[in-house]
């Protein structure tokens, strides 16, 4: 069951002003990679001894430890771009990877960037690690009341994997924003970021600068179908590991969907779809957007 979540006080609430990775496919892969933790009990919750920039913990480490040690993990869930561990008490540990955060069960990319260690008993997984190279990640522990009060539909839109075509159109069709920018608004639809928005619009044959209010009924149907196809395919490939190599699955292995990108980060390369134009790059909402002008005409 997909749950909802919100950003913390810093940085700003608009996720599309933040780095793109990881997105829904990468976070879904993280959740699946640590799913064996369900049924286990938290034996310890502690810092991994990182001397780099600290991540944000709410409440502090001691308070989180006091509340989660001894608790059983009832579920591993995803809320847009966030991993959630739900405990038998009803408390939820909400992990926001942000730009470089990873949930791991195997050897990390680097030891010095390990941030948190969750030791488990009664589980095939002995330890869950949170690794974050840049220290932008956020970990929050929410009580049932906090979860009910703070993590409602006003904070996060329907998940991009389950939103219906009709609801997607209803939530966006009156907006005068460019469709690419609107897709990055997590309060409209949750999980899509810069990379997958570009890929989805290419598959749907929609120009990224087209205003939401100008999309036709057939374009909305194509957009929804493309969203489902791209995200499901990306999950099957365990996400995208870009040129910086940061994103890894729970076993510290690269994703594979980067080999399937049609337009993202392919500026001036031949479009693999039509073969008759080159991929162009523009900037929208301070983000790079990639598209094919032949496959995605403005009119």
pLDDT computed for residue 98 by the predictor: 93
pLDDT computed for residue 154 by the predictor: 75
299 tagged catalytic: no
**CA proximity to 104, closest of 245, 250, 249, 254:** 250
CATH annotation of 165-291: 1.10.8.50
294 tagged catalytic: no
pLDDT beneath 50, residues of the chain = 1-19
The catalytic residue among 92, 98, 262, 287 is: 287
The catalytic residue among 67, 81, 171, 248 is: 81
pLDDT computed for residue 145 by the predictor: 84
Instruction: Name the token pair of 203.
Output: 């598959």
Residues 161-215 pLDDT 10s:
999 999 999 999 999 999 999 999 999 999 999 999 999 999 999 999 999 999 9
Tell me which CATH homologous superfamily contains domain 15-150: MutM-like, N-terminal (3.20.190.10)
The catalytic residue among 3, 7, 23, 82 is: 23
* Equal fold, 15-150 vs 165-291: no
- The answer to whether 80 and 7 are in contact (CB under 8 A) is no
pLDDT computed for residue 1 by the predictor: 41
pLDDT computed for residue 151 by the predictor: 63
81 tagged catalytic: yes
The catalytic residue among 22, 25, 108, 158 is: 22
pLDDT computed for residue 85 by the predictor: 97
96 tagged catalytic: no
**CA proximity to 16, closest of 187, 263, 217:** 187
Q: Domain boundaries in the chain?
A: 15-150, 165-291
pLDDT computed for residue 20 by the predictor: 53
């Amino acid at each position: 069951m997909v749950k909802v979540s919100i950003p913390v006080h810093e940085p700003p609430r608009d996720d599309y002003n933040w780095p793109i990775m990881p997105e829904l496919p990468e976070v879904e892969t993280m959740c699946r990679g640590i799913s064996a933790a369900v049924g286990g009990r938290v034996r310890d919750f502690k810092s991994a001894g990182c001397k780099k920039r600290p991540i944000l913990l709410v409440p502090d480490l001691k308070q989180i430890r006091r509340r989660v040690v001894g608790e059983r993990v009832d579920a591993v869930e995803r809320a847009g771009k966030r991993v959630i561990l739900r405990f038998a008490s009803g408390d939820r540990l909400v992990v926001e990877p942000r730009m470089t955060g990873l949930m791991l069960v195997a050897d990390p990319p680097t030891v010095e960037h390990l941030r948190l260690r969750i030791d488990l008993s009664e589980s095939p997984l002995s330890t869950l690690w949170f690794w974050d190279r840049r220290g932008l990640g956020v970990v929050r522990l929410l009580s049932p009341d906090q979860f009910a009060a703070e993590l409602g539909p006003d904070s996060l839109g329907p998940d991009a994997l389950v939103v219906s075509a009709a609801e997607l159109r209803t939530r966006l069709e009156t907006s005068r924003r460019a469709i690419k920018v609107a897709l990055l608004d997590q309060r409209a639809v949750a999980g899509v970021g810069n990379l997958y928005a570009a890929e989805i619009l290419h598959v749907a044959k929609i120009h990224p600068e087209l205003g939401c209010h100008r999309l036709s009924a057939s374009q909305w149907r194509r957009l929804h179908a493309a969203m489902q196809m791209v995200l499901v395919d990306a999950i099957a490939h365990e996400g995208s590991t870009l040129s910086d190599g940061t994103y890894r699955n729970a076993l510290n292995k690269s994703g594979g969907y980067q080999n399937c990108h049609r337009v993202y980060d392919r500026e001036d390369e031949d479009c693999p779809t039509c073969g008759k134009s080159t991929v162009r790059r523009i900037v929208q909402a301070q983000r790079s957007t990639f598209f094919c002008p032949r496959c995605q005409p403005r009119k």
